[in-house]
Amino acid sequence: MDFLRFARWSACAAGAIACSALGAQPQVSFHEEIRPILEQRCQVCHGIEDGQAGLSLTTHDGLIEGGKSGPSLVPGEPDKSLLIEQISGAQPKMPMAGGPLKRDQVELIRRWIAAGAVDDTPADADAAWWSFRRLEQPAIPDARGHDADWPRTPIDRFILATLHKKGLRPSQEADRRTLIRRLTYDLHGLPPTPEQIERFANDGSAYAYGDLIDRLLASPRYGERWGRHWLDVVHYGESHGFDKDKARRNSWHYRDYVIRAFNEDRPYAQFVKEQLAGDVLNPDSAEGVIATGFIAAGPWDYVGHAELREGTHDKRVTRNLDRDDMVMTTMSTFASLTVHCARCHDHKFDAIRQDDYYSLQAVFAGVDRADRPFDRDRKVFRARRELLAQRRDIEVELKPLLASTAEMTGPRIETIAEEIKPLREKRTDLVAKVGEVDT
C-alpha cells in the first residue's frame, strides 16, 4: 500500500502542471453551459431543423450530424472539429452576426469537445420546465433577530427572510391615512373618499385593518379593477381589430363573467376549466357558454373569414392564424409559454417543439367563432333545451311518415295531373271563345 501511494504521488509530482490543471477544470455541461451559448449566438441561422448549410444546432444530435460540410465536431478532438475551426482564430468566420464569441466561451466549447462532447441533457428536461412543475408547499422561514416580532402572517416571514438576506430591515409601519390610500388604489384602482378615510383613521378597533380589507374585497370595484389584468392577459377586445375593426356587440358578456369570477373568489381550477370547455362541462349553465369567450377574445380578421372565397390560399392562411391566436393565448395564459417560434421550428428558449405546437393547434382546428344564444335564467335555459329536444324527437318520428306518404301519393298525383291536363286545355279554349264573343 505504501508503495502504491508513493507511485501515485510520484506520477502527479512528475506531471504537476497537468494534474493541477485537470483538478481546476470541472466537467463542462452541455445542457447547462454549451446549449445556452448556441441558443443565444448560433441558432439565429442554425436554429431550425434544416438550418443554413443544412446545419441545425438546436440539439446535440444536430451538432454531431453536422451539415453540408460534414460533422460539426469530433468528440475528444477539438482541433479536428469544424465547429472550433469556425469560431476560433484571429478572424473567426462564425457567428456571422453580433461579433465573435468571447474567448472564455470558445474555450468552454473546446473543453467540452475534448472531454468527449457528452450530452447530459435530462430525459425529462422539457417536463422540468418551471411552469410545468407542480406547486410545492415551501417551508416557512423562522423569524429571528431584531425583527422576530415583525411578521403577522406566514407571508411576512418570507418577506422578512428575503430582507435579511439582502441586509435590509422592514420599514416603519405606515399611518392609517397612507394605508387606506394604498389599499384602495391597489384593490379598486380608485382613491378612497374623504368619508372612508375618516372612518378608518378614527376606528380604534384592533381589527380595523382586516375589516377595511374585507370591505374593499366585498365591493364590486375589486372585480372591475383586477379583472382588467386578466382581460389584458387574454387580449380581450370589444371589436375585431384588423382593417374593418367591426364592433363585437356581445363581447361584454365575457368581460362581466371575468368580473363576477373575481368578485366571487371563484376557484382558479374552475375558472380555467370554464374558459376552455365550459359549454361542455356545464351544459346547463349560461356561465359555461359565456366563459368560452376566452377563446374568442382576441383579434378576428373579418375580411379573411367572412369575405374571402372558400378554398383560396388566403382563406387557409386566415384560419391558420386564427387557430394560432387560440393556441398562443391559451399557452401564454395558462402555461407561461410563448409558442410563436414553434410555428416554423423547435422553440429556441421555451419548452415546446414544432410537432408539439401543431398538436396543440389540432385541438382548436374544429373551433370557430360565432354568436351563440343562451338564457341567463337556468330554468328558462333548461325549459328551452327540453322543448328543443322534444321538437327533434317529433321530427325524427315525422320523417318516416312523410316518406311513406310521399310513396303512397306520388304515383296517384301524377295520374291526376295527366287527367286534368285536357280539362285545362279545354278551359283555355273556352276563355278564348268568351273573349271573341265579348269583342
In this predicted structure, the answer to whether residue 218 has a pLDDT above a threshold of 90 is: yes
User: Which tens digit of pLDDT belongs to each residue from 125-157?
Assistant: 666 677 777 778 889 998 887 888 999 899 999
Query: How far is 331 from 339, CA to CA, in rounded Å?
Result: 7
Q: Categorize the per-residue pLDDT at 358 as very low, low, confident or very high, splitting at 50, 70 and 90.
A: very high
- The string of pLDDT tens digits covering residues 391-439 is 888 888 878 777 776 666 666 677 777 777 777 776 676 666 655 655 5
Confidence of residue 6 (pLDDT cuts 50, 70, 90): very low
Q: How far apart are CA 248 and CA 237, in angstroms?
A: 8
CA neighbor of 143 nearest in space, from 127, 124, 121, 163: 163
- Residue 265 reports pLDDT greater than 60: yes
C-alpha cell at 274: 370554464
Does 13 have pLDDT greater than 50? no
Closest CA to 41 of 97, 121, 110: 97
Give the confidence band of 98 by pLDDT, cuts at 50, 70, 90: confident
- Residue 420: predicted pLDDT: 72
3-state secondary structure the chain: CHHHHHHHHHHHHHCHHHHHHHHHCCCCCHHHHHHHHHHHHCHHHHCCCCCHHHCCCCCHHHHHHCECCECCCCCCCHHHCHHHHHHCCCCCCCCCCCCCCCHHHHHHHHHHHHCCCCCCCCCCCCCCCHHHCCCCCCCCCCCCHHHCCCCCCHHHHHHHHHHHHCCCCCCCCCCHHHHHHHHHHHHHCCCCCHHHHHHHHCCCCCCHHHHHHHHHHHCHHHHHHHHHHHHHHCCCCCECCCCCCCECCCCHHHHHHHHHHHHCCCCHHHHHHHHHHHHHHCCCCHHHHHHHHHCCCCCCCHHHHHHCCCCCHHHHHHHHHHHHHHHHHHHHHHCCCCCHHHHCCCCCCCCCCHHHHHHHHHHCCCCCCCCCCCCCCHHHHHHHHHHHHHHHHHHHHHHHHHHHHHHHHHHHHHHHHHHHHHHHHHHHHHHHHHHHHHC
pLDDT score of 180:
97
